[in-house]
Amino acid sequence: MLKTTQLSQERFSSLSTVSRVVIVGGGFSGATIGRLLALSRLFRREEMVIFEPRSRLGAGVAYDTNDPSLRLNVAAHRMRAIPGDPQRFARWFCETGRSGRDPEAGTKGAIYARRGDFADFMDNEMRPLLESGDILHMCERVTSIRRQNGCWRIEGTAGTILHADIVVVATGHPPPRTPAQFASGLQCHPRFISNPSSPCAFQKIQQSDNIIVIGAGLTALDVLATLRACGHGGEITLLSRSGLLPRPQATGSFALDGDLLKCFPKTALGLLQQVRSAIDEVTEKGLPWQSVFDALRHQGQAIWQALPPEGQRRFLRHLCRWFEIHRFRMPPQIKELVVRETATGRLHIRAGRIVSAAYDSQHILIDIATAPHRSIEQARAQWLILATGPDHENAIGHEACLLDLERVGLITKDPHGLGIKCDRENRAVARDGTPVEGLLIAGPLARGTFGELTSVPEIVDQAEKIVERIRQMHFTGTRRMAMRIDAE
Ligand SMILES: Cc1cc2nc3c(=O)[nH]c(=O)nc-3n(C[C@H](O)[C@H](O)[C@H](O)COP(=O)(O)OP(=O)(O)OC[C@H]3O[C@@H](n4cnc5c(N)ncnc54)[C@H](O)[C@@H]3O)c2cc1C
């Protein structure tokens, strides 16, 4: 694989070459689109390029980890990572002997594999396509995307310049944003960790140090699991506005048949009422409430798109947290850890909002406006870790190449602050409101338009649609490309 990449990279750096499709970002979204395009045989060898600075494709922010304490939040048989073969990951996990090497993965009939194993699985899927040259992996970051003479000019950090008919933006999850109240006082403080997924983030934490984690979602639980696995034994407080933790996965096998909602609500309140009555119905039948949220995801995009913009706004404002803790649940291993830690008194969950932060020689000191009465309480700890998850609202601002596109009006923020605005065919929507041909937005970046678009199965469904769209564009004729470049 490396050989192919290096050879091509040298050639591509010295020539201004034409390729048909460039995918910017080779996390799960970009890799899945690349894989499907390669298998579709729409393009000749070396016409399909993925720019990704990580050494492997398909891992991205979510799965690029060697930390054995980080597990998938979804059972292996529900990952559905490979279109047409939904059980492939679960099968691969057993066939490659991973279940033997990770006996804690299996719990009550389901496997919750390590995230790093899922990255290995994706690597295994991508490798043959890289070796055959059907996909070229440019192991570098894209710094600039420009429209030039009717095609796209893409430039990477290593100096590669490519021209393409189609660009797929799959830059995924941006890093977290430091809240304004810390930005001046703490941003550079050595015991304030603003990105817990950066390598060696926890290296300097001593075993008995007390820690406040900002956030109580799955990212915060990752922090808890990693610290405990490293032998950290001090007190950990998870602090969030709601003080609510993700709910646990249900055990056993269950699935609801057919569509959960017969008609789509027009308001956020209507949605809440329908979901609540569905939960009542299934629990009467002896099924877990989790089955409702699993069934909802099949209709998630249609439900979101049926809500008028005001309904979407109200959902995000009032229901989003409630929805997320039920929809994105913790795996059983993490639930056991939380129960254990709470019982020993080393884990605290607090509801409140940080209003200010300061530090002395020993501690970081924070003022918390506590819910529900908003009285101010003080807390102190040796470390403060930001675990609020990706800063989707500022997805464009984190990437120079996206800022380029925004500056010339070819992309805009999605109005709900969920990513980049696109139409239902995944085309970026320009500042003047028109769709931009040949510039497609993939993965969670497109959530503003589609709603439910975070997890593997939804990303796979979207990838299939994007590939179909590219197929249509391909056949409407873009083969004049080489002539355009020659003329430049
Ligand atoms: C911690 C975590 C755990 C998750 N666990 C699960 C789970 O158990 N089950 C499930 O179904 N879903 C899970 N998800 C959700 C889901 O799998 C992710 O939403 C999905 O991986 C998104 O993939 P992506 O490629 O769009 O984004 P990312 O994973 O963010 O990948 C984007 C890639 O783009 C690259 N990139 C960024 N900028 C540039 C640039 N300028 N040039 C070139 N490359 C660039 C980055 O290096 C990165 O590799 C999880 C998500 C997270 C964050």
Give the model confidence (pLDDT) of 390-403 as tens digits: 999 999 999 999 99
At residue 289 the predicted structure's pLDDT band, cuts being 50, 70 and 90, is very high
Question: Which stretch of 257-261, 277-281, 376-380, 484-488 has the lowest confidence by average pLDDT?
Answer: 484-488
Averaged pLDDT, 179-206: 85
Percent of the chain past pLDDT 70, that is, above it, reads 93
- Nearest-angstrom CA–CA distance, 386 and 366: 13
For residue 142 and ligand 1, the question of a CB distance below 6 A is answered with yes
Model pLDDT for residues 141-192, shown as the tens digit of each residue: 999 999 998 899 999 999 999 999 999 999 999 988 888 777 677 877 889 9
Ligand 1: which of 51, 70, 139, 173 to mutate, judged by most atoms within 8 Å of the beta carbon?
173
Gap between the Cα atoms of 136 and 142, Å rounded: 14
* Alpha-carbon distances of 343 from 70, 226, 233, 453, rounded to whole Å: 22, 19, 14, 36
Average pLDDT over residues 347-372: 88
Residue 94: pLDDT above 70?
A: yes
**Backbone φ, ψ for residue 385 (5° rounding):** -120, 130
Q: What is the percent of the chain with per-residue pLDDT over 90, rounded to a whole number? A: 76
b/e code 170-190 from CB counts within 10 Å (16+ = b): bbbbbbbbbeeebeeebeebe
Does the Cβ of 446 fall within 6 Å of ligand 1?
A: no
Report the C-alpha gap between 291 and 197 in whole angstroms.
31
| Mean per-residue pLDDT of the chain | 90
Q: Each residue of 214-263: pLDDT tens digit?
A: 999 999 999 999 999 999 999 999 999 999 999 999 987 777 777 888 88
Distance, CA of 393 to CA of 397 (rounded, Å)? 9
Please tell me the predicted confidence (pLDDT) of residue 19: 61
Ligand 1 center to 173 CA (angstroms)? 6
How far is residue 28's CA from residue 60's CA, in Å, rounded to a whole number?
6
Whether the Cβ atoms of residue 139 and residue 52 lie closer than 8 Å to each other: yes
Give the per-residue pLDDT at 488.
40
* 404-451 residue pLDDT tens: 999 999 999 999 999 999 999 999 999 999 999 999 999 999 999 999
Lowest mean pLDDT among 5-14, 106-115, 313-322: 5-14
Q: Which pLDDT score, from 0 to 100, does residue 1 have?
A: 36
Radius of gyration of the chain (CA): 23
- 180-247+330-386: CATH number: 3.50.50.60
Alpha carbons 230 and 207: distance in angstroms, whole number = 9
pLDDT over 70 (residue 17): no
Compute CA distances 211 → 10, 162, 208, 243, 338, whole Å.
47, 46, 9, 16, 16
User: Do 2-70+114-174+392-487 and 180-247+330-386 share a fold?
Assistant: yes
Residue of the CA atom closest to atom 4 of ligand 1: 62
Which residue's C-alpha comes closest to atom 26 of ligand 1?
A: 172
pLDDT at 9 over 50: no
By alpha-carbon position, which residue is closest to atom 50 of ligand 1?
Answer: 62
pTM of the model: 0.91
Q: Round to whole Å and give the CA distance between 337 and 140.
A: 38
Find out whether the beta carbon of 147 lies less than 6 Å from any atom of ligand 1: no
Per-residue pLDDT band at 477 (split at 50, 70, 90): low
Distances (CA, A) of 168 to 288, 365, 466: 39, 44, 9
In ligand 1, the atom with minimum distance to the C-alpha of 457 is 11
pLDDT at 14: 37
**Every domain of the chain and the residues it spans:** 2-70+114-174+392-487, 180-247+330-386, 268-327
C-beta 172 within 6 A of ligand 1: yes
Please state which CATH class domain 2-70+114-174+392-487 belongs to.
alpha beta
Cα–ligand 1 centroid distance for 401 (angstroms): 18
More confident residue, 385 or 477: 385
The residue assigned the tokens 């930001």 is 386
Does any ligand 1 atom lie closer than 6 A to the CB of residue 30? yes
CB-based contact 137:130 (threshold 8 Å): yes
Give me the helices (H) in 230-373, please: 268-284, 290-306, 309-314, 320-327, 332-344
Q: Region 114-136: what's the mean pLDDT?
A: 97
- Give the confidence band of 476 by pLDDT, cuts at 50, 70, 90: low
Interacting residues of 47 by C-beta distance below 8 A, sequence separation 6+: 19, 20, 21
Ligand 1 atom 15, closest CA: 455
With b meaning 16 or more CB within 10 Å and e meaning fewer, what string describes 203-233? eebeeebbbbbbbbbbbbbbbbbbbbeeebe
In the chain, count of helices (H) and strands (E)?
17, 17
Q: According to the model, what pLDDT value does residue 108 have?
A: 73
Q: Return the ligand 1 atom nearest residue 156 CA.
A: 42
- Amino acid at position 342, single letter: T
pLDDT of residue 15: 37
CA angle (197 as vertex; 191, 200 as ends), nearest 5: 60
Query: What is residue 199's predicted lDDT score, i.e. its pLDDT?
Result: 82
444 lines ligand 1 (CB under 6 A): yes
- pLDDT of 3 reads 35
pLDDT: which is higher, 409 or 106: 409
**Model confidence pLDDT, tens digit, residues 26-58:** 999 999 999 999 999 888 888 899 999 999 999
Q: Which of 75-79, 175-179, 308-312, 382-386 has the lowest mean pLDDT?
A: 175-179
Spacing of C-alpha 392 from chain mean position? 10
- Which pLDDT band holds residue 345 (cuts at 50, 70, 90)? very high
- CA 468 distance to own-chain centroid: 23
Mutation to probe ligand 1, out of 9, 28, 118 (largest number of atoms < 8 A from CB): 28
Sequence-separated (6 or more) residues with CB below 8 Å from residue 156: 51, 138, 140, 141, 142, 143
